[in-house]
Amino acid sequence: MSALVRLTEVSKFYGNIKALQDVSLEVHPGEITCVLGDNGAGKSTLIKIIAGLHRHDGGSFEIEGEEVSLGSPREALDRGIATVYQDLAVVSLMPVWRNFFLGSEPTRGRGPFRRLDVAAMRETTRTELARMGIELHDVDQPIGTLSGGQRQCVAIARAVYFGAKVLVLDEPTAALGVKQSGVVLKYVAAARDAGLGVVLITHNPHHAYLVGDRFVLLKRGAMAGSHAKSEIGLDELTRQMAGGSELEQLSHELERAPVPDVIGGRRMDVPDASGVSGASGVTGASGEPGGSGASGISGASGASGASGASGEE
């Protein structure tokens, strides 16, 4: 089966700065490819190349077997690649129906009388959103009045409606609560079931593992691993995502640092956890305490997990 999108050893330089080097990934129809990495790992550069905002400098970028170099988002869209950005998915002051069709507005009439097909735009928006379970009384309300999760869903519904073959999602759950994230992930899965290839960019391995079929790990602009779901467990993914050997080093350093009273007094297991050698101890700790588990993972280090916990309470 040929891939919808195939990147082979793609690189990108900004002047002398290497933003991305030799990154390879494949997107197949009906599959979700997750790209995981910490801040600055090159996730956004990768997404910009696929979305057509930047051209790649090295390697090859194929869409359905044809080698391309995309010069604009329009080109990417015309080839069936739709990108949904975390914070710039929609124009918040504009009505929902105008947002839904933005950039691909249907028109009626000819010449100077060519005009937006407003009735059809409103109606389509209403029915398409209803199909995704979003019931709006008024598609004329500014989209900024919807919740963050709903806005992401509108953007996904839009991409699906316009016949995207590949859906690229940039941190769709980053700014959302647990329940909202669940709703968004449900639509991501729905898009996959509809036969789309999905690229899900995230720094949350839990969300990635829930829906992903293959996982590409980025670290400082380079590939740190590429696995199919069958090859890797959640713990191992979390460990690699969290930095693996770097975390061991960090845990080693923290061991010698004096433990602040706040942490030492409140959480008895902290000296214990850092005492256990290596990353397995940290992974174990991050799995156990429900609430702080997430911050331990996303922060990718024991230090930020601990400071987060002491800051909250």
Q: Which is nearer to another protein, 88 or 194 (CB)?
A: 88
Least distance CB 287 / another protein (angstroms): 32
Q: Which is nearer to another protein, 164 or 241 (CB)?
A: 164
Smallest distance, another protein to C-beta of residue 141, A: 8
Our CB check for another protein shows the closer of 117 and 248 to be 117
Least CB distance to another protein at residue 73 (A): 5
Q: Which residues bind another protein (CB under 8 A)?
A: 51, 53, 72-74, 77, 83, 85, 88-94, 98, 101-105, 107, 114-116, 118, 130, 133, 135, 137-138, 140-142, 144-148
Least distance from C-beta 162 to another protein, angstroms? 9
Neighbours of 250 (CB within 10 A): 19
Q: H or E element: which one contains 127? A: helix 118-131
- Cα distance between residue 105 and residue 90, in whole Å: 15
Classify 116 as helix, strand or coil: strand
Round to the nearest angstrom and report the end-to-end CA distance of the chain: 52
State which residue, 199 or 273, has the beta carbon closest to another protein: 199
Nearer to another protein, 130 or 228 (CB): 130
* Distance in Å, CB of 28 to another protein, minimum: 24
With H, G, I as helix, E, B as strand and everything else as coil, classify residue 198.
strand
Q: Which residues pair with 5 in a beta bridge?
A: 27, 63
**Among candidates 80, 82, 99, which has minimal Cα distance to 90?**
99
For 40-76, give the DSSP string: TSSHHHHHHHHHTSS--SEEEEEETTEE----SHHHH
d(CA 138, CA 126): 9
